[in-house]
């Protein structure tokens, strides 16, 4: 992950993949899980390695933002059913397709590399944010909410190799009035074909 803070200047980014502009990456809507599994044949792998459009890459970025937000901004929806474990109150997750920790792990691995997935699931350490209790997924409710010092977010896709792209993201920095732009932050997130999946090999929230 490359982070450059440039006050009162713009951020340089590589030329976008020619396919038109994609959607803004700023979203707090949870994505519906799509699980990808199974071994790929050589022909399928070749198809997976085709040139991606900017729209496809930015849609993947949006899904990554939504999933990563489950660990920082807000948690997965839950019911009122609660259990106290290790001094923490957990609530049962209520989200289509994700009923166990294995389900969550599988979904995250369809978006992020193994390293990023493991880092997310390790959130909370000895008192994990998400854990299985009696065969069901539970979560500690909460979340920090959006950083009010960050404003508009803009993203572009750049091809960096035959099976590698980068999503270059620029976010406005705001004055205490939450309106006046004082500078920008620039981020670059690698999106690569790892084994049989296109995944982000490094990631974080920009707000």
Burial of 76 (0-12, 13-18, 19+ CB in 10 A): buried
Taking only the tens of pLDDT, the chain with its 207 residues reads 344 433 334 565 444 444 444 444 333 333 333 333 334 444 444 455 689 999 999 999 999 999 999 999 999 999 999 999 999 999 999 999 999 999 999 999 999 999 999 999 999 899 999 999 999 999 999 888 889 999 999 999 999 999 999 999 999 999 999 899 999 999 999 999 999 899 999 999 999
- Predicted pLDDT of residue 50: 80
Distance from C-alpha of 186 to C-alpha of 3, rounded to nearest angstrom:
6
Structural contact between residues 194 and 201, judged by C-beta atoms closer than 8 angstroms = yes
- Predicted pLDDT of residue 145: 85
Is the whole model's pTM more than 0.95, yes or no?
A: no
Distance from C-alpha of 108 to C-alpha of 129, rounded to nearest angstrom:
15
């Amino acid at each position: 992950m490359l982070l450059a803070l440039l006050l009162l200047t713009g951020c340089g980014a590589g030329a976008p993949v020619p396919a038109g502009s994609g959607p803004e990456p700023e979203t707090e809507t949870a994505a519906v899980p799509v699980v990808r599994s199974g071994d790929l044949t050589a022909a399928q792998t070749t198809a997976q390695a085709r040139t991606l459009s900017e729209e496809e890459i930015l849609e993947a970025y949006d899904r990554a933002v939504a999933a990563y937000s489950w660990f920082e901004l807000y948690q997965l929806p839950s019911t009122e059913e609660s259990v106290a474990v290790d001094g923490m109150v957990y609530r049962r997750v209520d989200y289509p397709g994700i009923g166990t920790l294995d389900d969550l792990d599988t979904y995250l691995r369809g978006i992020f590399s193994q390293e990023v997935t493991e880092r997310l699931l390790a959130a909370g350490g000895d008192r994990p944010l998400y854990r299985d209790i009696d065969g069901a997924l539970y979560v500690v409710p909460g979340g920090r909410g959006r950083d009010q010092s960050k404003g508009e977010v803009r993203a572009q896709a750049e091809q960096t190799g035959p099976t590698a792209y980068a999503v270059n993201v620029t976010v406005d920095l705001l004055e205490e009035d939450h309106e006046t732009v004082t500078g920008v932050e620039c981020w670059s997130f690698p999106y690569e074909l790892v084994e049989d999946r296109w995944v982000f090999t490094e990631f974080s929230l920009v707000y």
